[in-house]
Structure 1
Amino acid sequence: MWLFALFVAVPIIEIALFIQVGGLIGLWPTLLIVVVTAILGTQLVRQQGALALSQLRQSFSELNDPSEPLAHGALILLSGALLLTPGFFTDTVGFLLLIPAFRSFVFRELRKRIKVQGFVMGQQNMPPHQDGFRNQPGGPTTIDGEWQEIDREGDSASNDPQAPSGWTRH
């Protein structure tokens, strides 16, 4: 229900703000502000997104919990969508989400409301391979070797089921 209220309230807020700002400064300056904030927001989103991506890579390389860098990346993506949406309210929220301290605050608040059942780094929970085993210590061992096919053409014993298999030497 709150999502429906959000979809109704945001356009109403935007229309009201457009009417107020347009009445104060005029149509063309209002439209110029909307275009400039979209351009500026795009540049800031690109810069913040690159920073968030490098932090995510660092958390993966150090085997740290990547949930915060992932959340920052998602919030930056949301910020970009809000900044490209024409309006003063959405631009304000979008620019706020570009501030790392504000994103951290949002992440902490979301973390209070979201319960993570489990998180594992590495191969502990990998599904087994087709043969039912994982490549891990104590599992089946693969032995590399060389083989050579023995061609026994013309040998009448090769069709004899009692003859050696060809894998053995006589």
Structure 2
Amino acid sequence: MLRIWPVLFLIIPILEVYLLIEVGSHIGAGWTILLVVLTATIGVNLLRQQGISTLMRANQAMSQGQVPAMEMMEGLFLAVGGALLITPGFFTDFIGFVCLLPFTRRAIIQQILLKSTIKSSYTVHQEHRSTESSNTIEGEYRRED
């Protein structure tokens, strides 16, 4: 997974420049700049609205004594989406809007949580099996200075 980050840091800016040039050649430089500023403005307003909504749901869950796990993940997605939307470019704007729209954000988070739950339960089961066969020696110690 760590090997993909340098590739992404190289490919995404190249893709952004390519898309900006292509869009600019079709609609003009002025309209392209206006479109980039417009998507950033819409994104900031959507981020504010979704952030407040997520915060309210997190407060409600905590007041009911529940852990707001989904809301915490949504907050992370909102932060990433907001950062991507203020980055000039159409590809990052698309990914940013995917992170900010509630139905896409929740669907992605549910898939991530489902996969992590399956992996973590498998890992816990494997760790439990390996600890059953190991020898445990109990004892006490005292530190003498």
Q: Which TM bucket (shorter chain)? A: 0.7 to 0.9
RMSD of the alignment, in Å? 1.7
Unaligned stretches of 5+ residues in structure 1: 119-170
1:64 paired residue number: 66
1:42 paired residue number: 44
Question: TM-score, normalised to structure 1's length?
Answer: 0.65
Q: Percent identity?
A: 37
1:77 aligns with 2:79: yes
2:11 paired residue number: 9
Q: 1:1-170 counterparts in 2 under 5 A?
A: 1-114=3-116
Alpha-carbon distance in structure 1 between the residues aligned to 2:27 and 2:102? 32
Over alpha carbons, which structure has the higher Rg? 1
- What is the CA deviation profile of residues 4-27 of structure 1, one whole-angstrom value per residue up to 9, with x for unaligned ones? 111111111101101110110110
1:152 paired residue number: none
Would you tell me which structure has more helix in proportion to its own residues? Answer: 2
Question: TM-score, normalised to structure 2's length?
Answer: 0.76
Unaligned stretches of 5+ residues in structure 2: 125-145
Aligned partner letter, 2:33: L
Alpha-carbon distance in structure 1 between the residues aligned to 2:115 and 2:16? 28
Would you say how many aligned residue pairs link Structure 1 and Structure 2? 118
Aligned partner letter, 1:31: I
For residue 67 of structure 1, report the CA deviation from its aligned partner. 0.9
Aligned partner letter, 2:4: W
Aligned partner letter, 1:17: L
For residue 113 of structure 1, report the CA deviation from its aligned partner. 4.0
Bigger mean CA deviation after superposition, 6-15 or 45-54:
6-15
